């Protein structure tokens, strides 16, 4: 398959790119952070999304290399935004194998030191489905990251198992509620059958808060969904209704408009 053939040399050919999606404080809609998202632009394949390419990269054993490139690139960008007076945090996604690798914490520490970024400014995201890769190792490694001051997030919560046991067990600071939870809640009407219930987002937000977590509602695609998240008591939001993932220059313009 083309993807398997093209992927190994893509980094050297400079085909990777990082886009950034702002995370906004609600209800003020002030940017407080950015999530770095990988994009691959290949002459024959066009733009390939990480959901497609990361599983292949993992099979080829190059996912870690890609994740490290994204982290270094995003750190460089964050430094330039910091110099311009923006105090944003940076969130990155990492493949589970990279997360649990024995030198991951030391590497993160070194890259942030190199770019003079305080460790508290970084958020490492891991999706619930990826935790299953090796639960004890992920628990240990998230704990090690927190021990040096890096913040941790459970991504895509509510898209899969949404396991309470796992939520209690994982050393995370932030809970990212999947867009599907908000969408189901926002479409709710009195008299709807159970399952599509409005209280779902309310319940997840209060549960997260009870556990001492900061909550991000993600995948907010409409103003109604933003209002729904706010009504549930969620103070951080991410989604197309607030800001699309975009190249650094476009994000910079967005930040300028939201001073």
Residue from 220, 232, 236, 251 in contact with ligand G (CB under 6 A): 220
Nearer to ligand G, 84 or 129 (CB): 129
For residue 152, give the nearest of 132, 181, 131 by alpha carbon.
131
Residue from 42, 240, 246, 258 in contact with ligand G (CB under 6 A): 240
For residue 130, give the nearest of 34, 244, 51 by alpha carbon.
51
Contact indicator for 240, 256 with CB cutoff of 8 Å: no
Contact indicator for 76, 82 with CB cutoff of 8 Å: no
Residue from 131, 155, 167, 239 in contact with Na ion (CB under 5 A): 155
Contact indicator for 42, 56 with CB cutoff of 8 Å: no
224-241 burial, b at 16+ Cβ within 10 Å, e below that, comes to ebbebbeebebbbbbbeb
Strand runs labelled E in 121-191: 122-127, 151-157, 174-177
Please list every residue from 108 through 167 that binds ligand G, using CB under 6 A: 127, 155-156
Smallest separation, CB 217 to ligand G (Å): 10
Smallest separation, CB 225 to Mn ion (Å): 18
Which of the choices Mn ion, ligand G, Na ion, none does residue 33 contact, using the CB cut-off of 5 to 8 A by kind?
A: none
Does 67 help bind Mn ion (rule: CB under 5 A)? Answer: no
Please list every residue from 128 through 167 that binds Mn ion, using CB under 5 A: 155
Which of the choices Mn ion, Na ion, ligand G, none does residue 160 contact, using the CB cut-off of 5 to 8 A by kind?
A: none
Which tokens belong to 46? 């066009």
User: 206: left (phi > 0), else alpha (psi -120 to 50), else beta?
Assistant: alpha
Residue from 156, 162, 234, 236 in contact with Na ion (CB under 5 A): 156
Which tokens belong to 170? 């994982």
DSSP per-residue string spanning 46-63: EEE-HHHHHHHHHHHT-H
Residue from 65, 134, 202, 221 in contact with ligand G (CB under 6 A): 221
Smallest separation, CB 176 to Na ion (Å): 6
Does 226 help bind ligand G (rule: CB under 6 A)? Answer: no
Which tokens belong to 231? 């009504």
Contact indicator for 226, 237 with CB cutoff of 8 Å: yes
Residue from 218, 226, 236, 255 in contact with ligand G (CB under 6 A): 218
Binding positions for ligand G, rule: CB under 6 A: 21, 37-38, 49-51, 54, 67, 70, 93-95, 127, 155-156, 179, 218-221, 239-240, 245
Binding positions for Na ion, rule: CB under 5 A: 155-156
Binding positions for Mn ion, rule: CB under 5 A: 93, 125, 155
């Amino acid at each position: 398959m083309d993807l398997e053939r093209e992927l190994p040399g893509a980094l050297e050919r400079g085909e990777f790119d990082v886009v950034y999606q702002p995370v906004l404080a609600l209800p003020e809609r002030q940017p407080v952070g950015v999530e770095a998202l990988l994009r691959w632009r290949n002459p024959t394949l066009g733009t390939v999304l990480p959901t497609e390419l990361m599983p292949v990269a993992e099979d080829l054993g190059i996912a870690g290399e890609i994740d490290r490139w994204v982290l270094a690139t995003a750190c460089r960008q964050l430094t330039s935004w910091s110099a311009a007076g923006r105090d944003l945090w940076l969130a990155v996604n990492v493949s589970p194998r990279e997360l649990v690798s024995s030198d991951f914490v030391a590497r993160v520490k070194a890259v942030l030191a190199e770019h003079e970024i305080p460790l508290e400014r970084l958020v490492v995201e891991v999706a619930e489905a990826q935790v299953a890769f090796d639960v004890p190792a992920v628990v240990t490694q998230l704990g090690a990251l927190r021990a040096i001051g890096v913040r941790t997030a459970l991504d895509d919560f509510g898209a899969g198992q949404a396991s309470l046991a796992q939520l209690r067990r994982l050393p995370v600071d932030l809970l990212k509620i999947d867009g599907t939870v908000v969408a189901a809640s926002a479409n709710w009407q009195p008299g709807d059958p159970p399952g599509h219930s409005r209280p779902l987002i309310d319940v997840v937000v209060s549960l997260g808060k009870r556990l001492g977590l900061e909550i991000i509602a993600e995948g907010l695609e409409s103003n109604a969904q933003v209002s729904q998240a706010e009504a549930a008591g969620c103070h951080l939001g991410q989604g197309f209704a607030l800001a699309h993932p975009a190249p650094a220059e476009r994000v910079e313009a967005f930040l300028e408009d939201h001073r």
